[in-house]
Chains A and B, each alone.
Chain A
Amino acid sequence: MIILIGSQKGGCGKSTVAVNICAALAKTGRDVVLVDADRQCTSTNWTMDRAVKPNLNTVHSVQKYENIRETLLDLSQRYEFVIVDAAGRDSRELRTGMIAADILLVPFRPSQPDLDTLQNLQQIIIQAKDLNPKLIVYGVLTMAPTNPSIHESDEARDYLLDYPEIMLLKTTIRDRKIYRDAMSEGLGVVEMDNKKATDEITSLMQEIISW
């Protein structure tokens, strides 16, 4: 199964979501490869930090740019899960990834600049589905305020109703320091001692794959 994490907006937590999905899959013994298609190499740095910790389950890693379709299809023959971290813009990697993927997961923050990109992204999704009819598209709210009195997330959920091509998941990833700490250690939050963040990633996994 190929899961592409992509959006047109940078800084919405794509790499964080990608590596945490990988860590969650690896922790349960799944055969997973992480494809870093973003030249910022955030995911690759995470796998390098992870590689020096021999007690952790392996997450294989590949860097691939430009047309990534053939690579993804090839990897999907050899790995149970192919997780792709694409750059935060309308890139060749994002488009060619969409033609190969089973699932496109679009992380977005509950902020106006993030929401403003969805209209164009929906147009790209419609075009991609002409070439890849099996593509399923999910949206997930990320970096949402932990303060329950702030209603930005609810407003963003309402906003997404205008974009039927993107199925919004019930899971919300909140802005927690543990995600940043895990990132710098080559870990996923499921491998650290934080129940709230672990529950968020577990809930995300349950929604997108048979978990």
Chain B
Amino acid sequence: MVKRREPKPASSSQPTQSQIEAFASEADGGAKIKKELDPHAKHDFKGIRVPFNEYEYSKLVELSAKTGRTKLNVIRWAILKLAEDER
């Protein structure tokens, strides 16, 4: 026998202050607040495939061995260092 399911509310928790402020700030066509990104969040947002030439790859191996970082960590560290230098 089938049973009727009541729709569950999307969320029962209280909205946070930043969610309220983000929603309220759009009043009268106001600018959307840019979402603060967490630099230490899990690395599950986006994966990209990066082709290297032999020289670039040998440098990556070299830096990885020299700094004790994984190859992926070297790439991430280099991106953040460049972003910081460009600020």
Give the contacts of B1-45 with A (CB-CB under 8 A): 9-12, 15, 19-21, 23-29
The answer to whether A131 and B9 touch across the interface, beta carbons within 8 angstroms, is no
Q: Is A45 an interface residue (CB 8 A)?
A: no
The contact size tier of chain A is: 10 to 19
A184 within 8 A of B: no
Quick one: which of B9, B10, B12, B28 contacts A91, CB cutoff 8 A?
Answer: B28
In the complex, A115 Cα to B42 Cα: how many Å?
A: 46
CA distance A91 to B26 in the complex (A): 9
State the Cβ distance, A137 to closest chain B Cβ, in Å.
15
Residues from chain A with Cβ under 8 Å of B25 in the complex: 92
Contact partner, B9, options A89, A128, A134, Cβ 8 Å: A134
Interface majority SS on A: helix, strand, loop or mixed?
Answer: helix
A99 near B15: Cβ-Cβ < 8 Å: yes
Does A96 count as interface, using CB distance less than 8 angstroms?
yes
Closest B residue to A129 by beta carbon equals: B10
Contact B28 A131 (CB under 8 A): no
CA distance in complex: A56, B10 (Å): 43
**Given the complex, which residues of B lie within 8 Å of A127, measured CB to CB?**
23
Asked, given contacts A90-B27, A92-B27, whether A130 binds B11 with beta carbons under 8 Å apart, the answer is yes
Q: Which residues of B contact A109 (CB under 8 A)?
A: none
Q: A99-B20, A131-B15, A131-B20 are in contact. Are A94 and B10 (CB under 8 A)?
A: no
The answer to whether B27 and A95 touch across the interface, beta carbons within 8 angstroms, is yes
**In the docked arrangement, what's the CA distance between A90 and B10, Å?**
24
Residue of B nearest to A132 (CB): B15
Known contacts: A129-B10, A133-B10. The answer to whether A90 contacts B28 by CB under 8 A is yes
Residue contact B15 to A95, C-beta cutoff 8 Å: no
Chain B residues with Cβ under 8 A from A132's Cβ?
15
Given contacts A95-B26, A127-B23, 7 further A-B contacts (CB under 8 A): A91-B27, A94-B27, A130-B10, A130-B11, A131-B11, A131-B20, A133-B9
Give the interface of B toward A (CB within 8 A): 9-12, 15, 19-21, 23-29
Q: List 12 A-B contacts (CB under 8 A).
A: A90-B28, A91-B27, A95-B23, A96-B24, A99-B15, A99-B20, A99-B23, A127-B23, A131-B19, A133-B9, A133-B10, A133-B11
